[in-house]
Amino acid sequence: MKTFPVSDAGAALRYADLPGDGPTLIFLHGIGSASSFAFPEIAASRPLRAHRSILIDFLGFGYSDRPTAFDYSMDAHAETVTQLLDDLAVTGASLIAHSMGGAIAILVTASRPAAVRRLVIAEGNLDPEPGIVSGIIATQEQETYVERGHAELVARMRSAGFSEYARTVEIASPIAMHRSAVALIAGRSPTFREILYSLPTPCRFLISEESKSDPDVKRLSDHGIPVSIVPSCGHDMMSDNPIGFAEAVAAAIS
């Protein structure tokens, strides 16, 4: 992992920079996960291995630092990513983002259109409404979540059979989890969906086979955003069907 100091946060953002001759791919993870966990197999897969891949762990997650003073809003996360992309002089990249990372990717693309050539969002949060994990977290006060809610969430994920995800949640900062969840589902204007619809950057939305009847399939298509169904998977499509996910990404950026 490489280190990028985020001066205004007094903390280090960590990322993997995997070499390749193809155009750069940037990977952003969802809440409780880490790009260093979710995407190495995807980046190394046959459809994508020729590309340079940058796998970013947001502050508070994975290998990155966990500053308690950072507000962990979607805008703050996006700013750390844009600072890193500026430092690396990234241009013309494809930005691949899952779940919460999709909301952050939309803000990054709006802020740095020259850096992002294509946008691929896998079941990203577009509207101010609770998801399965964010909804559990945001109903609790921060102090309550930090004291016992975080451990309860880890146990809940394990008992539901999501042992790998439970591990990445366990090592995430409880403060980062809570503040990120609250910010993710908070009302905002414009919404992430409205920003996405206004972007000139080509975007493809990936939806799992488990969610193929979701109204967003038609809703996004009606707004000119093509949707691809990733077969044999649920929301955690990178773990459920890594090759299928990688092939969907490859098709989206080709």
The pLDDT of residue 7 is: 87
Residue 213: per-residue pLDDT: 86
Indicate yes or no: pTM above 0.95. Answer: yes
Q: Note the Cα 182 to chain centre separation in Å.
A: 16
Q: Is domain 2-128+189-253 classified as CATH 3.40.50.1820?
A: yes
Element (DSSP H or E) covering residue 93: strand 93-98
Return the domain boundaries, the chain. 2-128+189-253
Report DSSP letters for 123-143, one per residue: S---SSS--HHHHHHHTS-HH
Parts of the chain with a pLDDT under 70: none
Give the Cα separation of 93 and 34 in Å (integer): 20
The 10s digit of each residue's pLDDT in 107-141 is 999 999 999 999 999 999 999 999 889 999 999 99
| Residue of 103, 106, 109, 110 whose CA lies nearest to 124 | 103
Residue 230 — φ and ψ, nearest 5°? -90, 120
